[in-house]
Amino acid sequence: MQPLVRLLVPFLRFLWETKQRAMSTLPLLILYTSLLAIVISFLFSLLRNRRRHSSHRLPPGPKPWPIVGNLPHLGPMPHQSIAGLARTHGPLMYLRLGFVDVVVAASASVAAQFLKIHDSNFSNRPPNSGAKHIAYNYQDIVFRPYGPRWRMLRKISSVHLFSGKALDDYRHVRQEEMAVLTRALASAGTEPVNLAQRLNLCVVNALGRVMLGFRVFGDGTGGSDPRADEFKSMVVELMVLAGVFNVGDFVPALERLDLQGVARKMKKLHKRFDVFLSDILEERKMNGRDGGNKLTDLLGTLISLMDDANGEEKLTETEIKALLLNMFTAGTDTSSSTIEWAIAELIRHPKVWAQVQQELDSVVGRDRLVTELDLPQLTYLQAVIKEIFRLHPSTPLSLPRAASESCKINGYDIPKGSTLLVNIWAIARDPNEWADPLEFRPERFLPGGEKYNVDVKGNDYELIPFGAGRRICAGLSWGLRMVQLGTATLAHAFNWELPGGLKPEKLNMDEAYGLTLQRAAPLVVHPRPRLSPNAYQA
C-alpha cells in the first residue's frame, strides 16, 4: 500500500491546486471534476479488490504492478508471453489486468475444468470495448450475454448455415469458388501472387453466396477489386484492434480518456462496417434479389424473421447486421489465414508436401480438381490439417469468458466476475501433451500415431482451435470444410515456388498477433500448374 500512497500524494496535491483555480473558468472546473472522479473510482476499485482478495486463495501468478497490474507483462505477443509466464507459475495462473481478475488455462486438463465441468458458469463474456463499439453494443452472437436471445441467434445460424444439410446443400458453392481461384492462379503468368489476398477473396465470395445469394466482390478472379482490398483491410484491422489489451477495459477510471486511442479507432471502423452491411441489407430489402440462387440464403431468412416473425424470434435490423458482421469477420479471415499457413508449412516441408500430392493423385488423379466428397479418403491430408490447426490456431487466445459465480478450480478460488482466457496456442505446444511439440509432424495423427483419435471439434482439450463448450465457434463445420478443401485444392493443383530464389527453409514464419493469428508477412508465391489443362477449366 505504501508505494501507492507515495504515487497518489503528488496527484492529490495537483488536484487541490487545480480546485483553487477551477472556480474561475469552466474548462478547469470540468478538468477538476474529471480528475476527481478518476481518483475516487481508482480508490474505490483498489479497496474493493484488496477486500475481495484478502479472503481468497487465488492461483499463482506474477506480481502485479500498481494500478495497471500485469498488463506490462503481456508484451506485443500476449499468447507467447502468457505461455512463458505459465511455464513459471503453472498451467492455472492468476493475472490482475488493471482492476480485473483474470485466470488463464494453459493446459488441457485445466481447460477441461473450465470448459467442461464449469462450462455453464463461464458461458458469458466480460464487458469489453470491442463488443461495445464494433459489435453493435453486444447485439451479435459472439459477445451477446448468454440467454434466450443468444440461443435464438445460435439456432438460426446453426440450422440455416452450419447444419450438415446446409453444408451439403452449399457444397457446390465452395467448390465453384475454389475453381475460380485455381483458374485465376493458373493464369497468373510470371508475376508472383499474394496468396493471402487471393484466398481471402475466395473465402469471402463463398460465404457471401451462401449468406447473401451473390458474390460480394465481382467475379473473384483476382485482387484488383478495390472493394476486396478495402474489406480485407477492415477485417484485419478489426482482428488487430480486438486483440489489443485496452487499458480502459481493465481500469474503468481510464476508459473515457482512451489513452491508446483504441475506442476512437473502433468507432471509426464500426462506421465503415456499418455502411458496408447497411448497403447490402437495403439492396436486398428493395429488390429481393437472390442472385439466381435456387436455395434460400441466410439473409433472406433473417429478413423474413424481421418482417414476419412474432415474439422472441422477431429480429431487429441491428441484430441482422451484427450477425452478418460476425459471419464475415469470424468466418472469412480465420479460414483464409489457416490455408495460407498450411501452404507455407508444405513449402517448408517438401517431403510432407510430396506425400500429400501422392495421396491426392492416387485418389483424385490429375484430370480434375478435388471435391469435398474426396476429403474422407485423404487420410494423410486430414493429418496435415490437424497439425496446421495445432501449430497455427486461428485464435491463439480464446475469446474471454466471465465467471457468473465464484467457484473452485484445482483447489484455488476463482472470484465471481473473473475473466477466463484459455491459451489455445500454449496448450497445443505443451510438451506434457505433445511429443516434439515444435515440430511439424502430421504422422502423430495417423493410425498408430500417439494422437490418432484426437479431433479438433472441442472434444479433446489438447487441441481446441475452435474452442469448446457451449460457446464453441458456431462456424466450426464451415471453417473445417473450407480449410480442408482449400488446402487440398492448392496442394493438388500447383507446385509453389518462392520469389527471388528464396529457399523454403528461409521462409518467414513469424506471427502477427491479433484476435486471429495472421502471418507477419503475407505469403507471396509463384503458382506452377501441375494438372492437365482441362482441370483448370471445369
Per the annotation, where are the binding residues? 473
Rounded Cα–Cα distance for residues 257 and 254 (Å): 5
Grid cell, residue 489, equals 485444392
Rounded Cα–Cα distance for residues 69 and 252 (Å): 13
Nearest to 524 by CA among 237, 180, 191: 191
Nearest to 496 by CA among 528, 531, 521: 528
Rounded Cα–Cα distance for residues 537 and 369 (Å): 10
Nearest to 471 by CA among 15, 57, 120, 14: 120
* 8 A C-beta contact, residue 62 and residue 70: yes
Rounded to 5°, the CA angle 392-393-399 comes to 150
Q: Would you give the DSSP letter of residue 91?
A: S
Rounded Cα–Cα distance for residues 523 and 496 (Å): 11
* 8 A C-beta contact, residue 383 and residue 443: yes
Backbone φ/ψ region at 196: left (φ over 0), alpha (ψ -120 to 50), beta: alpha
Q: Mark the binding-site residues for heme, compressed into ranges.
A: 473
Nearest to 337 by CA among 186, 437, 482: 482
Instruction: Classify burial at 441, counting beta carbons within 10 Å of its beta carbon; exposed 0-12, middle 13-18, buried 19 or more.
Output: buried
